[in-house]
Structure 1
Amino acid sequence: MTHSKSVTPDEPLSLSVHSMPDPHLTALPPSGHGKLLAMFLACSLPVLLAMFVFFVIKPTGQANFGELIHPARPMPDVMLTNAQAQPIALTELKGQWLLVNAGSGACAADCAQHLFIQRQLREMLNKDKDRVDRVWLVADDAPINPEVQPLLADTTVLRASPAVLDAWLGASDDATMQLVVVDPQGHAMLRMPADMTGKQANAAKNMLQKLLMSSAVWDKPGR
C-alpha cells in the first residue's frame, strides 16, 4: 500500500536573505569638484591634443624644417626706428607670429630674393596668413633700395643694430641668410634658410602650419 507524503498547509515558506545593499557602493551624484575637473579637462583637451600631435606624433607629410632655437630668445625691450625714421618700440610687434628677415638697406639681388621668399611663404599659408606678420630688419644705415619697395608692402621695416640682432636672433653675422620665426610672445624660436628651393619652401610652409595649428586655440588673427 502506497502512502503519500502529507503536506502541512500551515508550514511557512523559508526565504534566504544573503545580504543588504551596501550604502557606500551606491552611485553618488558628482560633487562640485568633480564637475569643475570635468569642465577643466574638456577645455584643456584641444590644447593637450595639439601639443601631443605637434611634439609626439609629428604627422607624416609635414616634414620638420629649419633649426629650433633652444632656448628661445626673448624680444629685447628696445626702441628702434622705422623706414620713416620714427621711433617705435620693438615690443609693439608682440601678439602675432612673425617672419623676420634682416639685410642691408642697399638690398642687392640676393636680398631681394629673400624678401620675395618671405612674402610668398606667408601667402602660402592661405587662410592662416593673417596670423603672421613680416618684419624686415635693416642692419645698416644705407638708404633703402627703391627697387625693393614693392616687396616691402605690408612689411614692418625697422633699423636694428648688430647688438639687437645678436640679442634677439642670436646670429647677427649671418642674420641676412636666415628667416626667423618668432612666436606671439616675442620669442625667436626657429631659424630657416632665407634662400629656399620650391621643395624647401613647401617644407617650411608645413612647419609653420604645425606651429599655427598647435596655437590655434589661444592665438587669433591680429594683435
Structure 2
Amino acid sequence: MNKRPASAFPTWAILVAIAGVFVLPILIAALWYMNVNQWGVGRTTNYGHLITPPIQLHIEPLPLIVGHGHLMSRYFRGRWTLVYIGGSKCTPDCRAALYATRQIRLALGEDIRHVQRLYVVTGEPQKLGFLEDEDPDLTIVRAEGAKGKRFIHQFFKAADAHLGGRIYLVDPQGHLMMSYPAAVNPHGLMRDLKRLLTVSEIS
C-alpha cells in the first residue's frame, strides 16, 4: 500500500492560516483605527469622533419592541452596525437620525448586506408603531432594567458620550469605534463607513 506523502505543514498551522483569512481583515481595520493618530491620520480624514481604544461591547438580551424575541448574543458579529440611542418617544431629531442612517445604508448598493441598524429606546416606548411600516429593516430594542443599564453604559464610556441622541458605529467584531451627533452629516458618515468597508475587505 502506498503511503500518502506527509504534509509540509502541521495541521495546527493550516487551521491558523484558514482562520486568519476571516479574522485578519477585521483585526487590520481595528489596528488601523487604534493607531490612527500615530500614523498621522486623524480628524482631518474622519468625520466622526474616534473612540480610542475601541470598546468591546457585551450584548444583553434586550427585548425587541417590533416583533418577538430579544437581541441575540451574536447580533453585532459579521456586520457593521449603526446604533442610535434615544428616549421613549422618537422626536423629530430621532426621526431625522434614523432617516439619515437608513438612506446611508441604502446608498451603499451591494454593500448594504454588510451594514445593519439598531435603535435602542431608553424609556417606556411611546408611539413607535409607525417605524414598523416606514423602517422595516430597523431593529428596535428596549433598554430596560439592570440589563438595559449595563448595555447603555458601555456606549457612554466614550469620551464625548451623553445620555441619548447619538449615532454609534460598531465593527463586525462588536467593538464600539466611532460616534456621531444625531444631526449627522450623511456624506461624512458615508465616507467613514466606506473607508472602513474597504480597509476591512468586507466589501
TM-score, normalized by the shorter chain, greater than 0.5 = yes
Name 2:178's counterpart in structure 1.
190
Q: Which residue of 2 aligns with 1:19?
A: none
- Deviation per residue, 1:52-89 (Å, 9 max, x gap): 9985586xxx9421111112111214211111452333
Q: Quick check: 1:68–1:191 contact (8 Å CA) kept in 2?
A: yes
1:76-95 superposed matches below 5 A: 76-83=58-65, 84=67, 86-95=69-78
- Change in Cα spacing, 1:187 to 1:130, as seen in structure 2 (3 Å) is same
SS across alignment from 1:87: coil
* Worse overlay, 140-149 or 70-79: 140-149
Kept in 1: contact 2:82–2:116 (CA 8 A)? yes
- Mapped contact 2:76–2:171 kept (Cα < 8 A): no
After superposition, the C-alpha distances for 1:22-79 in whole angstroms (9 at most, x for unaligned) are xxxxxxxxxx89xxxxxx9xx8xx96xx869985586xxx942111111211121421
- 2:54 matched residue in structure 1: 72
Of 146-155 and 207-216, the range deviating more from structure 2: 146-155
Residue pair 1:101, 1:175 contacting (<8 A) in 2 also: no
Q: Which deviates more from structure 2 when the two are superposed, residues 108-117 or residues 166-175?
A: 166-175
Any conservation in 2 of the 1:179–1:193 contact (CA below 8 Å)?
Answer: yes
| Alignment-derived partner of residue 165 in structure 1 | 152
Distance 1:179 1:82 in 2: 19
User: Identity, % of aligned pairs?
Assistant: 24
Q: Is the Cα–Cα contact under 8 Å of residues 121 and 142 in structure 2 kept in the other structure?
A: yes
Secondary structure (helix, strand or coil) at the match of 1:181 reads: strand
Q: Pairwise CA RMSD of aligned residues? A: 3.3
Number of equivalent positions? 170
Task: List runs of 5+ in structure 2 lacking aligned partners.
Answer: 1-7, 10-16
Give the structure-2-normalised TM-score: 0.69
Aligned to 1:203: 188
After superposition, the Cα gap between the structure-2 partners of 1:57 and 1:163, relative to the gap in structure 1 and judged at 3 Å, is closer
Change (3 A) 1:152 1:162: farther
Q: What's the CA shift string for 1:164-220, capped at 9, x where partnerless?
A: 111245369735321100000111110111213xxx32121111111110111xx36
CA contact (8 A) 1:122 1:129 kept: yes
Q: Say whether residues 1:126 and 2:109 are aligned partners.
A: yes
TM-score between the two structures when normalised by the length of structure 1: 0.64
Hey, what's the Cα distance between the residues in 2 that align with 1:183 and 1:159? 21
Q: Please tell me whether the aligned partners of residues 99 and 181 of structure 1 are also in contact (alpha carbons under 8 angstroms).
A: yes
- Give the match's secondary structure for 1:185: coil
Change (3 A) 1:211 1:89: same
Q: Which has the larger radius of gyration?
A: 1
How far does residue 125 in structure 1 lie from its aligned partner after superposition? Answer: 2.0
SS state of the match for residue 63, structure 2?
strand
In structure 2, distance between residues paired with 1:212 and 1:57: 20
Q: 2:138 aligns with which of 131, 139, 155?
A: 155
